[in-house]
Amino acid sequence: MCVSIQVHKAIETTEHYFKHLIPIQRMQFTAEMIAGLLGGTIVGDKSAAVSTVSSIDGGKPGSLAYLTNPKYEQYIYTTEASIVLVDNTFEPKGEVKATLIKVENVGQCVLNLLEMYNASRPQKRGISKLASISDTAHVGENCYIGDFAVIEAGAEIGDGVQIYPQCYIGDNVVIGEGTKLYPGVKIYEGCKIGKNCILHAGSVIGADGFGFAPREDGTFAKIPQLGIVIIEDNVEIGANTCIDRAKTDATIVRSGVKLDNLIQLGHNVEIGANTVMSAQVGIAGTSKVGANCFVAGQAGVADHVTIGNCVKIGSKTGIDKDVADGEIRFGYPALPGMLYHRSFAVFKQLPDLAQRVRELEKSIKVLTSEQ
C-alpha cells in the first residue's frame, strides 16, 4: 500500500516537472534513448521524440504518456502522445498511433525517470553573506546556506547540506550530510537530524512537548521538556509538520520514515523505520508506532499506546488501545478491518431499521389493544 502511494505521487509529479522544465531546456528524447534507459522494448517508431510528459487522456504530440491503470486503456487508442509507456503484458485491442515502450513495471520506470532527472539538476552551493553563522558552528564542505538563515553556537552541519533562506538551526544541533532544509524550517537546540533527510518548509523540530500540571487554583504549571528529537537517515518530513522534543530522553523518528504535511508527533513518541503517515495525523505523547506501518490521513493515536509493525490504519481512525503486528484498524473507536466493514454495513441501515421497529411497535400495540 505504501509503495503504491509513493508511485502514484511520483507519477503526478513527473508531469509537472517535465512540462515546465524540459521544454525550457529544449531537450528531446527519442524512443530508442528512453527504451535504453529503462530496459524497455519498442513497438513502433524508434525515432519518435518527446520533450514533455502528459497524462494519457490529455496527450499531445511530442509528449510521453504512461498507462498504469487499466481503466484508462481506452485513451491509448485516441491519445496524441508520441510515446506511451506500458507494461510488458499489455496487448492492444485496436490500433495505437503512438509508439509503445514496453517495460517491466511502468510505475517503477516513472520513479527511475524522476530519480535520473533529479540527479541531473544543479545543486545550490555557497553561503550567503546575509546568513548568520556562529563562530563556534561547524559547516562542512559543498554546503548551501541561504539568506537570513541562522546557525547557532556549536551546531554541526555535514557536507553537502542545503539550508534554504530563513531557516533556524539552534545550539548544538547536528545535521547529517546531504540533508536538505527548505525555507523556514526551525530546529531547536540539541536535536539531531540524520543523513539525506528532507525537511519541507515550515516544519518545526524540537518545540516543547505539550506538558502542563494542574494547580489547585485552576491554573497550570509548565512541565520542563528537557529531551531532544532524533531523526535518523533518509527521513522526509512534510511542510508545517511539528515534532516535539521529549520531556526526557528523545522523541525518535527512525530511518526511512515518510511524513506528510501538517502532522503532529508529541513528546517521547517513537516512529519505526519505513513507516508512512499521510497529512493531519496526530500521535500523542509517549506512544510508539512500529516499522513499515501505514497511517492514513487524519488518524489519531492516544497517549501511551503501542502499535506493532506492519499495521495499517485507515483515515480518521482513532486508536486508544495497543495494536498487534500486522493488524488493520478503521473507525472510532477503532475496529479490526472486516469487523469495521460489517458494522458499517449495519450502521448505514439504522434509519430503516429504526422505522421498521416503530412500525412493529405500532402493530404490537394494535394487536394488544384488540385482545
Cα(235)–Cα(144) distance, integer angstroms:
20
**CB environment 206-237: b (16+ within 10 A), e (fewer):** bbebebeeeeeeeeeeeeebebbbbbbbbbbb
Grid coordinates belonging to 112: 527511475
Q: Can 267 be counted among the known catalytic residues?
A: yes
Going by DSSP bridges, is the β-strand pair 288-289/192-193 parallel, antiparallel, or unpaired? unpaired
Do residues 153 and 171 touch, judged by C-beta distance below 8 A? Answer: yes
Residues in the chain: 371
H or E segment and range at residue 117 = helix 106-120
The partner residues of 336 in beta bridges, in order of sequence, read: 329
Cα(238)–Cα(197) distance, integer angstroms:
11
- CA-CA-CA-CA torsion sign (109, 115, 120, 121): positive
User: Catalytic pick from 8, 16, 138, 267?
Assistant: 267
Place of cell 552541519: 157
Cα(284)–Cα(300) distance, integer angstroms:
8
Grid coordinates belonging to 111: 520513479
Catalytic residues: 267
